[in-house]
Structure 1
Amino acid sequence: MTQPASPAQQGQQDARPRPDSSPGTRKSGQTDGGSPLRTLWARADIRTLSLLGVLAALIVVGGITKPDEFLDTRNLQLVLTQSSVIGVVTVGMTFVITSGGIDLSVGAIVALASVWATTVATQEYGFGGILFTSVLVGVGCGLVNGLLIAYGGMVPFIATLAMLASARGLALQITEGRTQVVTVDGILGLGERDSYILGVPPLVLVFAAVTVIGWLVLNRTTFGRRTVAVGGNAEAARLAGIDVRRQRLYLYLLSGLCCGIAAFLLIILSGSGQNTNGNLYELDAIAAAIIGGTLLSGGRGTITGSVLGVLIFTTITNIFALNNLQTDVQQIAKGAIIVAAVLVQRRTASTT
């Protein structure tokens, strides 16, 4: 008859090294300790590495087809700057999709926030007034979405579709179809090269900050774990003590906040507010999140993958523009990438 292990023996057993379950490790649980590169590869996310490979391939294609124009420092700065606006929106979208929701209104919210923040009355309050109004309008729209979905019981698709139509209509009413030019020097100055920090545009720095904060919140906080839990199984999350309705409200507030920040960046980039701003941002943000590895059904999300998805789409657009290719071909290429990403997701899900 075997004797139960003593507490000391149990502690020794628990302290023993356990097999590493990360992808790419050997079945015995040991990696080649003599090769740091192999260890890094074993711990890395294969999807992220694949996206980096696609981005690197696009850079090579751009460098071959238009070496002087594509590899020019100003063009690379332009690619990063253009990625910043939709990238901030995508960070918020990633949280929403991870929770099992969807937000079709992000582009319209960006448009409404940008035109509301650039009215003559708002510009009288200067830089602070424009920034505050952009963020406030974004959060306000997110609050309406969150209340309708979390406490009103509306399907996210319907609620955000209604917000899309309403926000676009209100933006058109405010502008009366005209472009509102920004006259605040503090805003216009941020778009000039003199404001670059070590060659990096301020918009890119804001995008980087939002990305880092989003990654930390999703991967290192209780809020992020609750978001994944709600997306994986909302009923199980509720039984575990998570207030699912409140969590969903917070997520749409977060999405609205990201839209407000993106609207402010777009005002800096364009120096104006228009009711057509943010056109199709919802599709670009959803597509970037999906090809980055965020499950459309919820339960898994990756900020890093979403950002790489944004960079891939922006680089494709830039390469097509430099080579004077038709927009329809560009849209077909994006569609093919989205389909391929969804098929990869389904295959990955079926093998796990």
Structure 2
Amino acid sequence: MTQQPVSPAQQQAPAPAAAADKSEAGRGGWRGIGLRADVRNLSLLGVLAVLVAVGGITEPDTFLSTSNLQLVLTQASVIGVVTVGMTFVITSGGIDLSVGAIVALSSVWATTLATQEYGFAGILFTAVVVGLGCGLVNGLLIAYGGLVPFIATLAMLASARGLALQITDGRTQIVTVKSVLDLGVPDSYVLGVPPLVLVFAGVTVLGWLLLNRTTFGRRTVAVGGNAEAARLAGIDVRRQRLYLYLLSGLCCGIAAFLLIVLAGSGQNTNGNLYELDAIAAAIIGGTLLSGGRGTIVGSVLGVLVFTTITNIFALNNLQSDVQQIAKGVIIVAAVLVQRRTARDGDV
């Protein structure tokens, strides 16, 4: 019996059943990852619920009051905006140790007497531009200068802190622009929600859309998962990293403006340890420190957890060192969970 010749196209085409099985396996894998992400977020919501219960039990008259809940959300807004930018950087496999120093430099540069002469727009513009400028320097050093992110951002941390101290000469710069200060008073609240919280919510939504619904987000995950494979796939890895540090700098500039509104001043000590809080919030939220996976929702929940812990400790007059120990335990536990899920194939 003569065998019919097989065309090259037929030789390369996978069997329909095998292709279907592979497609179904891929969809099942993504569904599994999504399910585990939902479990992580639900776990964080459970932790947050427990903290709210503890606060309500220990200080029922104060913790659950409207003013205190507004305070918690307002304080979470500043570090929360920084954490959104940090989530993108960590997802790409990088790190940014300079975010706190950038917030400090942006806040003092935006509150000098010369800047305040230009009013609300001048302060906002300066804070954002300084943040973008610092992010640009970080991005150029890392993406095109070949410096390790840890070293480059550590150098920026020292330089920005030093420049902030030089600008202020160690003094607190009081804001006198009424339109800026008015954003922090209850009369400016929208349906009981402070404007700073609305800004934080807007940044969170935009960050989620950017990471989960755009090519930019997919490229960020690809670079963090395997930079060389991303390069071979046609992604300009260096340009992508530059954009990510610009994004982080932008978030720092926005956070600096929110801090100016909240504190009514600018000083070189602003943003102290923000880098640690932002990294910790992103990690416990489910963003892999090694890169390749990030979650904006989880990072925001991480910020709320840490901010609630701080508030509960303050209301109960507990020492800050105990608070730092509690945060450290949470961070270690989160990393151990990540390592376990990584061994189970959750990456």
TM-score normalized by structure 1? 0.90
Match of 1:321 in 2: 314
> What is the CA–CA distance in structure 1 between the aligned matches of 2:31 and 2:141, rounded to whole Å?
44
1:274 alignment counterpart: 267
**How far apart are residue 54 of structure 1 and its match?**
0.5
Whether 2:95 is the aligned partner of 1:102: answer yes
Question: Which of 116, 124, 130 is equivalent to 2:109?
Answer: 116
**Structure 1's 241 and 194: CA in aligned 2 closer, same or farther, altered over 3 A?**
same
Aligned-residue offset at 1:21: 2.3
Cα 1:44–1:224 shift into 2, 3 Å: closer
Alignment of 1:327-346 (within 5 A): 327-346=320-339
Q: Which one of the candidate residues 193, 199, 207 is aligned to 2:192? A: 199
Q: Equivalents in 1 of 2:43, 2:318: separation in Å?
A: 26
Is the aligned partner of 1:168 residue 2:161?
yes
In structure 2, the CA distance between the partners of 1:42 and 1:291, relative to structure 1 (3 Å rule), is closer
**Counterpart secondary structure, 1:173:** helix
**Deviations 1:19-43, CA, capped at 9 Å, x for gaps:** 8626998xxxxxxxxxxxxxxx968
Residue matched to 2:7: none
Which has the larger share of helix? Answer: 2
Offset of 1:45 from its aligned partner? 1.2
CA separation of 1:231/1:64 partners in 2, compared to 1, >3 Å: closer, same or farther? Answer: same
Provide the residue aligned with 1:221 in structure 2: 214
Q: Residues 138 and 152 of structure 2 are in contact (CA less than 8 Å); yes or no, is this contact kept in structure 1?
A: yes
Q: CA 1:341–1:170 in structure 2 vs 1: closer, same or farther (change >3 Å)?
A: same
Contact kept in structure 2, 1:22 and 1:43, CA below 8 Å: no
Residue in 1 aligned with 2:303?
310
Give runs of aligned pairs for residues 8-157 of structure 1, distance below 5 A.
Answer: 21=28, 45-157=38-150
Structure 2 unpaired stretches of 5+: 4-9, 11-15
Deviations 1:217-248 (A, max 9, x none): 00000000000000000000000000000000
In 2, Cα distance between equivalents of 1:86 and 1:348: 27
Q: Distance in 2 between matches of 1:266 and 1:227?
A: 28
> 2:13 matched to which residue of 1?
none
Match of 1:240 in 2: 233
Residues 22 and 42 in structure 1, CA contact (< 8 A), matched pair in contact too: no
CA 1:42/1:284 → structure 2, altered by over 3 Å: closer, same or farther? closer
Q: Deviations over 1:294-334 (max 9, x none)?
A: 00000000000000000000000000001111111000000
Partners of 2:63 and 2:328 lie apart in 1 by 23
CA distance in 2: counterparts of 1:124 and 1:70, whole angstroms: 39
Post-superposition Cα deviations, 1:164-187, rounded to whole Å, max 9, x if no partner, equal 000000000000000000000000
| Gap regions ≥5 residues in structure 1 | 5-9, 26-40
Distance 2:336 2:217 in 1: 26
Q: Give the residue type in structure 2 aligned to 1:278.
A: G
What is the alpha-carbon distance in structure 2 between the residues aligned to residue 24 and residue 222 of structure 1?
A: 20
Between the aligned partners of 2:300 and 2:93, the Cα distance in structure 1 is: 19
Counterpart of 1:259 in structure 2 is 252
Residues 56 and 256 of structure 1, relative CA distance in 2, 3 Å threshold: same
Work out whether residues 108 and 164 of structure 1, in 8 Å CA contact, stay in contact via their aligned partners in 2.
yes
Work out the CA distance in 2 between the residues paired with 1:250 and 1:21. 32
How many residue pairs get matched? 331
Structure 1 runs, 4 residues or longer, greater than 2 Å off? 17-25, 41-44
Task: State the 1:106 CA deviation.
Answer: 0.2
Partner residue of 2:204 out of 208, 211, 233:
211
CA pair 23-58 structure 1, distance change in 2 beyond 3 A:
farther
| 1:174-185 map, 5 Å | 174-185=167-178
After superposition, the Cα gap between the structure-2 partners of 1:24 and 1:165, relative to the gap in structure 1 and judged at 3 Å, is closer
Shift, 1:281, TM fit: 0.2
Aligned residue type for 1:21: G
**Contact residue 107 and residue 257 of structure 2 kept, 8 A:** yes
Q: Where does residue 152 of structure 2 map in the other structure?
A: 159
Q: Distance in 2 between matches of 1:24 and 1:149?
A: 35
- Alignment root-mean-square deviation, CA: 2.3
In structure 2, the partner of 1:288 is 281
Identity %: 83
* 2:84 and 2:251 in contact (8 A); partners too: yes
Residue by residue over 1:59-104, the C-alpha shift from the partner in whole angstroms, topping out at 9 and shown as x without a partner, is 0111111111000000000000000000000000000000000000
C-alpha displacement of 1:18: 5.6
* Partners of 2:24 and 2:216 in 1: CA distance: 29
Q: Is the 2:168–2:268 contact (alpha carbons within 8 Å) kept by the matching residues of 1?
A: yes
Structure 1 CA distance for aligned equivalents of residues 31 and 322 of structure 2: 37
